[in-house]
Chain A
Amino acid sequence: MTSILQVQNLSKNYGEFTAVKGITFDIKQGEIFSLLGPNGAGKTTTISMLSTLYAPTSGDAIVDGHSVTKDPMGVRNVIGVVPQDLALYEDLTARENLIFWGQMYGLSGQPLKNRVDEVLGQIGLMDKAKDRVKTYSGGMKRRVNIGVGLLHKPKVLFMDEPTVGIDPQSRRAILDTVKDLNKQGMTVLYTTHYMEEAEELSNRVGIIDHGDLIAIGTQKELTQQVGETETLILHISENDDPAALATAFKGIKEVLEANVINHEISVITPSAKDVLASVVSKANERGIKIHSIDIREPNLEAVFLHLTGRALRD
């Protein structure tokens, strides 16, 4: 597969603060690529530079042959953008919004009308098309927000955390829409801090943290970095000292790593059942009560934890 987007050493500084630190990656035509990272990792800044909203401090990105620094208008013609926050005119109806944004992408006349009808069908709002957006639920607004990004049939769709703050049903609908679009051949760059979404949607995932792209690959490639390990998550009382207990866990032979996340301790081990008794014993020795224990198979969360020592939700 050929690359439709190549990111080369892209950086963005705000004064002394560096939001994105010289990241490099590429996205193949027809794939869903997820940028996974916690809030403030640099996902939105990256998408803002790729969509030509912000000029990079250094580096460049080529989208379908157009440079974001040298030919931003060329880039804008081939991309669709679904911003994290709703960007709609709430006093216009869904149809009026779609018509206006379609006009901004150069559509007009009957082709515009036909395309608006198609998109309304695609986002499932044909019967509500004449209602003003301000009367919609959060999920419906999100769907219109996505519809705007699809109007001109972009080659690459940038979706910046499109499921933040919506109900599970709408979230499900959005994820299904993304998969449908991809089946139709659309390349998607999807940012999220939900591991499950990245796992469900992506052909490949880039893990970003503090502006650095710290890992990239398929889900299988990434979890192999953690190795054949399991993770124990122990929930303890707020009054107890998790750091001292984590240090004690590191003394257990089969424990590879023990980290504190708020009042949870994550223990990475080749075999959870082999260390379970020792872990409980160490806690009892210190009079610390364990409220619950979860055992997790290797996943992107574990990869992130392994690479950063922190949980994605931190």
Chain B
Amino acid sequence: MLKTFLIGIKDLRLAFRDRAALTFMLAAPFVLTLGLGLVTGRFSGNANTGITNIPVIIVNLDDEQLGDALANVFTTEELAELVEPTFSEDAEAARLLVDEDQTAAAIIIPAGFTQSVIPSQDSFAAGNVELQQNIQIEVYANPSRPTSAGIIKSIVDEFMSRVEEGRVSGQTSILQMILTGRITPQQAEQAGLEMGERLQNSPDTDALAITLNSTTADGEAAQFDILAYLAPGMALMFLMYTVSYGGRSILAEKTQGTLPRLLVTPTNSTQILGGKVFGIFLTGAAQMLILIGATTLFFQLKWGDGIGVVVLVLAAVFGATGWGMLITALARTPAQVGSIGTAIMLIFGIMGGSFISLDQLPPFVQTIAKITPNAWALDGFTTLGLGGTLTDLSAPITALLSMGMILFLASVLLFGKKNLVQK
């Protein structure tokens, strides 16, 4: 165990003495974040707000409770600086404005949306509370403004998740009341409406089913900073470089003769391989934490809940290290690891949302992106940037840890087959 630790520390030291590696590990993601921040206007206005006044057009054809609630979300004080909503009754005209790049996105709330979510009296009477038809809100996004459109979509997504949450809990409550005989099926619709009104009038806003999560843990108003998306995107992309660099060092040690020399010391091959993996993990974690520290210091970027950030970083590095090991196990030479690693870095960067929000990519790409640590980790960082905490990160953290475990197992099997040193 001690030797594994010592080998890992040695690799961390070597990585941070390699100027070329440092350029890719730290300078490149930092400079790219800075550049993208400048392009998106993050540094030109109020340093704490990032993107402001995102133009969005809202077409509320529903004109009932839920449609109105969504429209009202965009006129709240919390989003006053972030978005600039206008309203229309013509969906086609709204789409045209997006096509002409006059707005970042159009939100089209179809007629019957509220009815599709809140079941009718007949549904309760029949004991069938499933939705009869699935009417969806359309976010018509402007592909030339991926970040702004992504933010609009995340606001709508948040609203919809709250709607779904409220719908399920409301239906469950009404059904319980019917089953226990407190109300008749004919009274269900009225009871649901009264429940909704009581909730809306409640002083405890957290109890509202339909709210935008716009407060941080300490209660301060939260505004989504575009750098909270760009900085982790770049850091995660170059994390893939770091793990392939670490993987390359395993094969490089073989050609440099230090691996054979290690194998004739009283150190077994499991300790050596474990040490190399630990070194990759340490280097990746150090890179991410330095970048987080630097962007916090120089860009006043708020990454969100500290514990959540640390745990997410470790999980992301673990998942990425798994990829680094797999690439190393498949390659024959350090140069091959370098080439494959660079290709994977770019592909994962694009697919995983480092350049373009995943929401802007076709559905099949979004599905494939689930194999990348970038997509899961970016999802987590966005959640944290929007005020989430560690408890909101169960999905990305579970996915990243599972990814790492599966890839490690595959790598160990491959390493076992090809033997690091010819025996």
Contact = CB atoms under 8 A, between A and B. Distances in A.
Given A51-B264, A81-B261, A91 B256 contact: no
B182 interface: no
A87 B257 contact: yes
Interface stretch (A24-32, A97-105, A274-282): A97-105
Nearest to B10: A100
Interface in A88-132: 88-89, 91-92, 96, 100-101, 103-106, 132
A89 B266 contact: no
A90 to B, nearest CB: 8
B266 A105 contact: yes
A94 to B, nearest CB: 15
A100 B6 contact: yes
Contacts of A53: 260, 263-264, 421
Interface stretch (A72-80, A231-239, A293-301): A72-80
B405 to A, nearest CB: 28
A76 B17 CA distance: 31
B423 A54 contact: yes
B418 interface: no
A104 B253 CA distance: 15
A151 to B, nearest CB: 10
A98 to B, nearest CB: 13
Contact of A104 (B13, B17, B256, B265): B265
A181 interface: no
A84 B400 CA distance: 43
Contacts of A81: 261, 264
Nearest to B5: A103
A89 B423 contact: no
B258 A88 contact: yes
B67 to A, nearest CB: 63
A52 interface: yes
A105 B260 contact: no
Contact of A79 (B6, B17, B18, B264): B264
A73 B268 contact: yes
A87 B256 contact: yes
Interface residues of B, number: 22
Interface in B1-36: 3, 6, 10, 13-14, 17-18
Nearest to A108: B2
A59 interface: no
Given A73-B266, A92-B13, A148 B423 contact: no
Contacts of B14: 89, 91-92
A86 interface: yes
A132 B265 CA distance: 23
A103 B6 contact: yes
A76 B260 contact: no
B217 interface: no
Contacts of B18: 91
A103 B265 CA distance: 10
B6 A83 contact: no
A87 B261 contact: yes
A85 interface: yes
A290 interface: no
A288 interface: no
A89 B260 contact: no
A85 B268 CA distance: 22
Contacts of B10: 89, 92, 100
A104 B256 CA distance: 17
B201 interface: no
A55 B422 CA distance: 9
A146 B3 CA distance: 22
Nearest to A84: B257
B17 A91 contact: yes
B23 to A, nearest CB: 15
B10 to A, nearest CB: 5
A86 B423 contact: no
Contacts of A92: 10, 13-14, 17
Contacts of B17: 91-92, 132
B262 interface: yes
Contact of B261 (A52, A55, A83): A83
B258 A76 contact: no
B6 A77 contact: no
Given A54-B423, A86-B257, A91-B17, A77 B264 contact: no
A101 B14 CA distance: 15
B423 A104 contact: no
Nearest to A148: B261
- Name the residue among B262, B265, B423 with the largest chain A CB count within 10 angstroms: B265
Contacts of B260: 53, 83, 87
A51 to B, nearest CB: 5
Interface in A165-218: none
B423 A76 contact: no
A270 to B, nearest CB: 47
A77 B266 contact: yes
A76 B262 CA distance: 10
Given A89-B10, A89-B258, A104-B6, 5 more contacts: A51-B264, A85-B257, A101-B261, A104-B3, A106-B266
19 contacts: A51-B264, A52-B263, A52-B264, A53-B421, A54-B422, A73-B266, A76-B266, A83-B257, A83-B261, A85-B257, A88-B258, A89-B14, A92-B10, A92-B14, A96-B13, A100-B6, A100-B10, A104-B266, A106-B266
10 smallest beta-carbon distances between A and B, as pairs:
A87-B257, A87-B261, A104-B265, A91-B17, A76-B266, A51-B264, A85-B257, A81-B264, A55-B423, A87-B258
